[in-house]
Amino acid sequence: MSVPVLKETLTLANGRAMAASAPDFLLGAARRVGPNVKVGVGPLTLTVLAQPEALQHVLQKHAKVWGRGTSVDAIRPLLGNGLPLSDPPLWLTQRRTMQPSFHRAHGPSWVHTMRDVTARALDGLVPGAEVKVRQVMMNVARDVIVRAMFSGSLGEDTRPYDEALGVVEDYVSTVMVPGKLPLWVPTPRHLRFKRAVTFLHAQLQRVIDERRRLEAPPLDLLTLLVQAKDPESGQGMSDQQLRDEVMNIFFAGHETTANLMTWAVYLLSQHPAVHERAEAEVKAVLGQRAPEPEDLPKLTLLASVIRETLRLYPPAWLFARQCFEDTEVAGERFQKGQVVLLVPYVTHRLSTLWSAPDEFDPTRFSTESSTDAATWKYSYLPFGAGPHVCIGNHFALLEATVVLAMLLQRGRFEVLEPGRVKPKMGATLFVGNGLPARFVPA
């Protein structure tokens, strides 16, 4: 049986619905027609796969046939050939070379960095003043990754970097907008983006050069990557590859995590009973002291809150694969070069897989729950699955746990316009209005 087509609407109307809210439009199509569905949008026909068997087929069993290919070319001017954009053989060498730099053994030093950055951010919150939670979380996640990556090597004044990164984030947030002009068209936004990328590349090169010269470099992610060697060939990375990987880690790692933390704040604010229990757990485990790495596994309810947030609002809500040869999946024939969209946002809300799929219910992930983690595998994939599974998932989960635990210790955000919260799609799935809120100390 081939992948069914969403027939009842016009491609033009679909285009408008996609632009208004692509995640909800695709979810609606899957609910009406089936988890794997073809949707006409303007001149294009998109093939959406959300059924676990199809995801496993593409991401794991036939991962050699389905890769990134040209489907990610829109962000290549920024991210080059870093891990999230590459295919074997380069991808395989790079994954082998980089994997040890993300080993759990580095967790404790990351936790200390995360703790310091969070304390500074929370100290800066003025009780009662209105803030946008997404901006607070973006600043925290950006500082965490910059400090975990570079220690203090960027110098005291990080404003030029913040400015350039802001410009780049602005561009990246538009790359998935349908009908977007190609980068060679000299719009003011494109020109700003190109200047910012040139600046960032030059600065990165400077820091890499410094690191290569230092006899006792700080033990941060950059040093680990500078010293990393492919265990098979013994080769390290070229400067350009290193630069690409650093840029990729920065972009793959901070907006996603910031969105996760923002959605968790929103969901907790709307579920006071869960909020209360999470606060009680944090107080029982930590009291008023700062979290240590060994405390984090004891925060089991908070871990379930984070998992459930990632189910309802997976920041990497959609990713693409292109086939390298003629092939078949879900009963449908694909010709070499065709693209499929894999959509965790839809998979995570299928009523055939999840009971009351739109409800926030962290207990479905609690350790007492009878659901076996193995059964979630291709029904739950906020970090992807198969060989390309997120290399930074441990880092992200540590960060979300530290930040949310410290927030629960200190107070809470009172969300100002909960009725206006809508998921918006840029490069990631984020809270559309930035989540205006007031900080209420405990």
Does 346 sit near ligand HEM (CB under 6 A)?
no
| Number of amino acids touching ligand HEM (CB under 6 A) | 22
Does 334 sit near ligand HEM (CB under 6 A)?
no
* Helix, strand, or coil (residue 172): helix
Residue with smallest beta-carbon separation from ligand HEM: 392
Q: Taking the complex as a whole, how short is the minimal distance between the CB of residue 249 and ligand HEM, in angstroms?
A: 5
**Backbone φ and ψ of 215, nearest 5°:** -80, -35
Question: Which range binds ligand HEM by CB under 6 A, 255-263, 289-297, 363-371, 401-409?
Answer: 255-263
Does 256 sit near ligand HEM (CB under 6 A)?
yes
Q: Taking the complex as a whole, how short is the minimal distance between the CB of residue 149 and ligand HEM, in angstroms?
A: 8
Q: In whole angstroms, what separates CA 274 from the centre of its chain? A: 24
State how far the alpha carbon of 81 is from the alpha carbons of 17, 68, 246, 389, in Å: 33, 11, 11, 17
Question: Which range binds ligand HEM by CB under 6 A, 35-43, 187-195, 209-217, 254-262?
Answer: 254-262
| Rounded Cα–Cα distance for residues 40 and 36 (Å) | 14
- Please say which residue, 6 or 250, places its beta carbon nearer to ligand HEM: 250
84-93's contacts with Cβ under 8 Å and 24+ in sequence apart are: 84/248, 84/252, 84/388, 85/248, 88/64, 91/67, 91/388, 93/230, 93/232, 93/233, 93/235
Does 165 sit near ligand HEM (CB under 6 A)?
no
- Out of 50, 75, 138, 260, name the contact with ligand HEM by CB under 6 A: 260
Cis peptide bond upstream of 291, omega within 30: no
Does 248 sit near ligand HEM (CB under 6 A)?
yes
- Out of 63, 249, 286, 435, name the contact with ligand HEM by CB under 6 A: 249
Residue 258 has which token pair? 């910031």
Binding mask 289-328 vs ligand HEM (x if CB under 6 A, - otherwise)?
--------------------------xx--x---------
Q: Taking the complex as a whole, how short is the minimal distance between the CB of residue 234 and ligand HEM, in angstroms?
A: 21
- Please say which residue, 35 or 253, places its beta carbon nearer to ligand HEM: 253
| Closest C-alpha among 197, 235, 291, 271 to residue 94 | 235
Does 223 sit near ligand HEM (CB under 6 A)?
no
| Closest C-alpha among 274, 341, 339 to residue 309 | 274
Q: Taking the complex as a whole, how short is the minimal distance between the CB of residue 135 and ligand HEM, in angstroms?
A: 17
Does 253 sit near ligand HEM (CB under 6 A)?
yes
H or E stretch at 440: strand 436-441
Q: Taking the complex as a whole, how short is the minimal distance between the CB of residue 214 and ligand HEM, in angstroms?
A: 22
CB atoms within 10 A of CB 106: 19
